[in-house]
Structure 1
């Protein structure tokens, strides 16, 4: 493959990633609308479910959001029964709070994402284990590149 063909393939991959990002954003928006949550609320709920329990400041760092913004998000998530705030018994400051996801609510999210999950299962069935490992590795490295780029932008 010559340099022109490689460049065209690279452009095609980047365009496909942008289209995927847009489609996933639309899907998340629809899921959020069904649950009366904002997109950013869903993003934070995902971070809490994956990495929690978290302090609100740790969540703010992970999400790249101002702590005051996170407070409003946590208020909405708690009001909806998605998270609980708990005193952190191991913290030096007795007022310290951690946030954790309410496990019983996951079924609602799984149901709303079930169409996409089923479609991905069907799609992955057409690839070999080696191909899936390559795809997973690429997506992981692309995520890491996005994390780095986000961090650089956040620095100003």
Structure 2
């Protein structure tokens, strides 16, 4: 599954003229934002200078904007520009339709178990990633 999703993402970034890491960061910004560049770097496990280049590309492409933090005017936050989301969602529409078809074959209780499994797996991956990041510093 991981390989197939990676392959799909490779096709998506090629269509959007982005890099895989750009798409990863855009996903984090969409789900966690507005977010500071430093916090984005920590969550993505990237060096802050790398994130600066990623944000430059995303901003040039019209995917994000950098704004002054409303609480701390000295700080900057990054916000996704939602008007580009339909373009992104369109590229995943085939996969999303397939997932809808797959889910129709399950009972609600089964879907709850699957959702719980996926949520717990994501949490385990987050914990393992954070632990590895702490060892590397």
Where structure 2 has 5 or more consecutive residues not aligned to the other structure, the ranges are none
Give per-residue Cα distances to partners, 1:20-63, cap 9 Å, x unaligned: 11111111111001000000100100110111000101111111
Match of 2:108 in 1: 129
Structure scoring higher RCO (CA < 8 A, sep ≥ 6) equals 2
Match of 2:88 in 1: 109
Specify the SS of the correspondent of 1:90.
coil
Partner Cα separation in structure 2 for residue 37 and residue 46 of structure 1: 13
Match of 2:38 in 1: 57
Match of 2:132 in 1: 153
What number of residue pairs does the alignment pair up?
A: 135
Paired residues for 1:63-82 under 5 Å: 63-82=44-63
- The structural deviation recorded for 1:153 is 1.5
- The structural deviation recorded for 1:89 is 2.7
Matched, 1:26 2:7: yes
Specify the SS of the correspondent of 1:109.
helix
Match of 2:97 in 1: 118
Partner Cα separation in structure 2 for residue 153 and residue 27 of structure 1: 27
Give per-residue Cα distances to partners, 1:74-107, cap 9 Å, x unaligned: 000000000000111310xx33111000010001
Partner Cα separation in structure 1 for residue 102 and residue 132 of structure 2: 34
Structure 1 or 2, whichever has the larger Rg, is: 1
Partner Cα separation in structure 1 for residue 124 and residue 78 of structure 2: 28
Specify the SS of the correspondent of 1:85.
strand
> 4+ residue stretches of structure 1 with deviation over 3 A?
none
Alpha carbon RMSD of aligned pairs, Å?
0.8
Matched, 1:48 2:29: yes
TM-score, normalising length: structure 2: 0.96
Pick the aligned partner of 1:96 from 55, 75, 84: 75
